[in-house]
Amino acid sequence: MLLYTLLFTLQGKDPAKNKYVDMLSMWLTYIVRHADLTANDTVMVLVDAPTRKILENDKLLQEIREAGKFQWRLQTIPQPVNLSQGLAERYKVFSPTEIHMFVDLDMLILDPIQPIMRHQKEAFFTCMPEGKLLETDYAGLLLQHLQDYTDLKGYTAGWFMFNPSDAIETFFTKIRQATLDNQAHPFYTVDQPYLNYFVLKEIESGASKLEFYFLDESLSVKNIYPPKPTTLFAHFCGDPGNDLCHLSKMVVFHQHLYQQMN
C-alpha cells in the first residue's frame, strides 16, 4: 500500500516557518504507533523543493520515520503559487500497482488500517463521509435542483482510497482541472467542492467505470475530543492553509488522548 500526504510552502513564503512541517512529525508519529504498516508499505510525502530541504534536515522527523517498518519516500512537486495549485497535486496516481490512501496532514490515524483495505481488481474509489452535500464546504455551490440532494452526505477531500486505473486517472483529471480553472476565485474549501460534485455525477451517470465505496461513519470524527472508541481517523479540519488552526487542534487532541492513557 502507498499511504501519502501533501505538504507545501507557497511561493514567497518561508518554509522554515511552515507549521505544516511540525504537523508532519505528529502525523507520522501516529502512523508509526498505530497504523501497523509493514516493510511492504510506503509512506510518501508530496513536497515542493524548498520545503523538502527542511524535511531532509529535520532530525526529529528522521528519528520518527526510522522507528517505523515502512518504506519512506519524498516526491517533489512544483512549488505552488496558491492553494489551488498545491491541493490539485493530490489527485494523481503515483504507483501503477499499489492501493493508494491519501491522508491529509490534519488527520491522525488511531488504529491499524488493514481492516479497511480493499483488495480487488476492479477500479474503485472510497470516500469518507463528512457533513452534508449541500453545505457550501462540499457541493452546495455547484449543484442545481437542490431539493434532490437534501439527504445526501458530503465527503472530505482530506481522505480517500483508490487503486490505480485508467478510470481513476480520468476522474482525477476532472477534479484537478476544475480546481485549477477556478484558482482565480477559489471556493473556501478549494478543491473539496469539485471532489463532491464529480463523485455525485459519476454515480448519477450510471455508467462510471469506478466502483464507489463509503467509509463507515463510525470510523472517523471531525474536531472531537476525545475520540469515540470506534475512531480510526481523527480529522482536525478548519481554515484551509492556516497551519496554526490545524496544529493547535491536533496538539490539544494529543494532550487529551495521552493524559487519558497515563
User: Domains in the chain, ordered, with CATH?
Assistant: 2-261 (3.90.550.10)
Mean pLDDT to the nearest integer, 256-262: 68
Lay out the sheet containing 153-162: strands in order across: 71-77, 42-48, 2-7, 100-103, 153-162, 124-132, 211-214
Kindly report, residue by residue over 41-91, the tens digit of the pLDDT: 999 999 999 999 999 999 999 999 999 999 999 999 999 999 999 999 999
Examine the pLDDT at 236 and tell me if it is beyond 80: yes
Minimum mean pLDDT among 29-38, 47-56, 253-262: which range?
A: 253-262
The cell for 115 is 481492516
Minimum mean pLDDT among 57-71, 87-101, 226-240: which range?
A: 226-240
Kindly report, residue by residue over 126-142, the tens digit of the pLDDT: 999 999 999 999 999 99
pLDDT of residue 146: 79
> pTM of the predicted model, to two decimals?
0.96
Angstrom distances, CA of residue 256 to CA of 24, 159, 228, 235, 249: 19, 23, 13, 15, 11
Measured distance CA(87)–CA(219) in Å, rounded? 24
Mean pLDDT to the nearest integer, 12-41: 97
Kindly report, residue by residue over 174-212, the tens digit of the pLDDT: 999 999 999 999 999 999 999 999 999 999 999 999 999
What percent of the chain lies above the pLDDT cut of 70? 98
pLDDT of residue 262: 55
Examine the pLDDT at 260 and tell me if it is beyond 70: no
Task: Assign 131 to helix, strand or coil.
Answer: strand
Q: Mean pLDDT in the chain?
A: 95
